[in-house]
Amino acid sequence: MTVLRRLVNGIDVLSRGTGRVVAYFVPLMMLILVYEVVLRYIFNEPTKWAHETSGMLFGSYFMLLGGYALYSRAHIAMDLLYGRWSPRRQAIADVFTYLLFFFFIGALFWLGGEYAGKSFLRLEHSRTAWGPPIWPFKMMIPVGALLFLLAGVAKLIRDLNLAIRGKEL
């Protein structure tokens, strides 16, 4: 149990740390968009880079926070029946639904990795007037899927422990 507890705690530290770091993308995106709006509508001088940069940051934000959202229980749940069940019964239901979770996130990791790898090998750039490299942002797909997958492993270990032993890990 000590090894499992350490593994789960290590994944939790990674999930929390990722959430704290990636949270700074929001004010950065806001600053970029406010800058663009001021330049565009007050000075009539739109930028070539602001909209695209904020989009790439948002995509990275979205991909990297899946594991943190799972860790902090921020995903939407159907509480019609589930909310009335005991924690042990909820854990049993979660164990069975994790078969779908691991299939989906595993596919996202695998296919997203191929997609990002091809982009990296070509050192892909955007086809816009600004033309920044986009391969680093495409790499966020498998990285985010891996973080989500790890958070799912931690949750599965917790749920299996609760379902089998009847108490929290």
Res. 115: pLDDT tops 90: yes
Per the structure, the count of domains in the chain is 1
User: Can you tell me the distance from the alpha carbon of 113 to that of 142, in angstroms, rounded to the nearest whole number?
Assistant: 5
Query: Phi and psi of 125, rounded to 5°?
Result: -120, 155
Q: What is the DSSP string of the chain?
A: -HHHHHHHHHHHHHHHHHHHHHTTHHHHHHHHHHHHHHHHHTSS---SSHHHHHHHHHHHHHHHTHHHHHHTT-S---TTTGGGS-HHHHHHHHHHHHHHHHHHHHHHHHHHHHHHHHHHHTT-B-SSSS--B-HHHHTHHHHHHHHHHHHHHHHHHHHHHHHHHSS--
| pLDDT over 90 at 10, yes or no | yes
Q: Picking from 36-50, 51-65, 74-88, 136-150, which range would have the lowest pLDDT averaged per residue? A: 74-88
Residue carrying the six token digits 């379902």: 163
What is the rounded average pLDDT for all residues in the chain? 93
pLDDT of residue 159 exceeding 80, the answer is yes
Percent of the chain with pLDDT over 70: 99
Is pTM beyond 0.85 here?
yes
Q: What percent of the chain clears pLDDT 90, i.e. is strictly above it?
A: 82
If one counts every other C-beta atom within 10 angstroms of the C-beta of residue 166, the result is 11
Q: Which domain holds residue 158?
A: 2-165
Kindly state the average pLDDT of the residues 43-71: 94
pLDDT at 75: 80
